[in-house]
Amino acid sequence: MKAVRSYCIVLFVLVAWLLAASSCTEDSINVDDNFALDFSVDTLRFDTIFTDMGSATMKLKVYNPSAQKAYIEQIRLMDASYFHINVNGVPADEVQDVYLNAKDSMLIFVQVSINPSDEATPFVVRDSILFLLNNKKQQVQLEAFGQNAERLHRLTVTQDTVLTASLPYLVSDTLRVLPGATLTLQPGTRLFFRKNAVLYVQGRLLAEGNVQQIIQLRGDRNDYMNTIPPLSYDLCSGQWGGVVFATGSFGNRLVHADVRNTSFGIRVDSTSLDQMALYVESSMLRNSTGCVVEAIHAKMAVNNSLLCNAGNYVVALQGGDYTWKHCTLANYYQFAWGGRTNPILLYANKRIDASKDAIPMPFASKMYNSLIYGSYSSEIQYVCTETPASNYVFSHCLIRYRISDITNPPYLQCIFNKEPKFVFQQWEEELPHVYDFNLSSGSGAVGIADSKVANEFPLDLAGHNRLLDGSADAGCYEYR
Q: Structure pTM?
A: 0.84
Q: Which bin fits 475, alpha (ψ -120 to 50), beta or left (φ > 0)? A: left
* pLDDT value of position 245: 98
- d(C-alpha 164, C-alpha 167), whole Å: 7
In this structure, the number of other CB atoms found within 10 A of the CB of residue 57 comes to 15
* pLDDT value of position 223: 79
Distance from CA of residue 188 to its chain's centroid?
19
* pLDDT value of position 329: 98
Question: Does an H or E element contain 24, and which?
Answer: helix 2-27
Question: Does an H or E element contain 198, and which?
Answer: strand 198-201
Closest CA to 169 of 181, 180, 155: 155
Q: Which bin fits 355, alpha (ψ -120 to 50), beta or left (φ > 0)? A: beta
**3-class secondary-structure state, position 458:** coil
- d(C-alpha 116, C-alpha 51), whole Å: 5
Q: Which residues contact 111 (CB under 8 A, 6 or more apart)?
A: 54, 55, 56, 57, 58, 83, 84, 85, 86
Structural domains present in the chain:
38-146 (2.60.40.10), 151-454 (2.160.20)
* pLDDT value of position 219: 95
* pLDDT value of position 348: 94
* pLDDT value of position 46: 85
- d(C-alpha 184, C-alpha 153), whole Å: 18
* pLDDT value of position 15: 45
Burial 340-365 (b: 16+ CB within 10 A, else e): bebbbbbbbbbbeeeeeebeebebbb
Q: Which residues contact 32 (CB under 8 A, 6 or more apart)?
A: 134
DSSP for 305-348 reads -EEEEESS-SEEEEEEEEEEES-EEEE--EETTEE--S-SEEEE
Q: Which residues contact 89 (CB under 8 A, 6 or more apart)?
A: none
199 strand-pairing partners: 175, 243
- d(C-alpha 172, C-alpha 150), whole Å: 11
* pLDDT value of position 387: 78
Closest CA to 391 of 369, 415, 367: 367
303 strand-pairing partners: 281, 325
**3-class secondary-structure state, position 154:** coil
Ranges under pLDDT 50 in the chain: 4, 10, 13, 15-23
- d(C-alpha 311, C-alpha 288), whole Å: 6
Residue 235 carries which DSSP code?
Answer: G
**Pairing assessment for the beta strands 328-331 and 371-374 based on DSSP bridges:** parallel
Q: Model confidence over 162-177: pLDDT tens digits?
A: 999 999 999 999 999 9
* pLDDT value of position 13: 47
Closest CA to 75 of 54, 93, 55: 93
